[in-house]
Structure 1
Amino acid sequence: VVNPAFDVTPAQLITGIITERGIFAPGDLAAKMRQS
């Protein structure tokens, strides 16, 4: 089943992850979440 509401984005194309706590680079996200 194909659902056009979802896609698969290659990891190398992701430059930032938006959360309630701000925008983080993919490599920084885990460390920032552990700090809080």
Structure 2
Amino acid sequence: HNNFDDVNTCILRIELTHGLLLSHGTRYDIDFSK
């Protein structure tokens, strides 16, 4: 939810490059740069 009329609204953009997912004992290394 964004309220663009609020002067305190701040938009943050994040670009992920790497990730790690652990699921049921399995590790997944994720490369978002591809």
TM above 0.5, yes or no, is no
For the pair shown, the structure with the greater C-alpha radius of gyration is: 2
Q: RCO higher in 1 or 2 (8 Å CA, sep ≥ 6)?
A: 2
TM-score (normalizing by structure 2): 0.21
TM-score, structure 1 normalization: 0.21
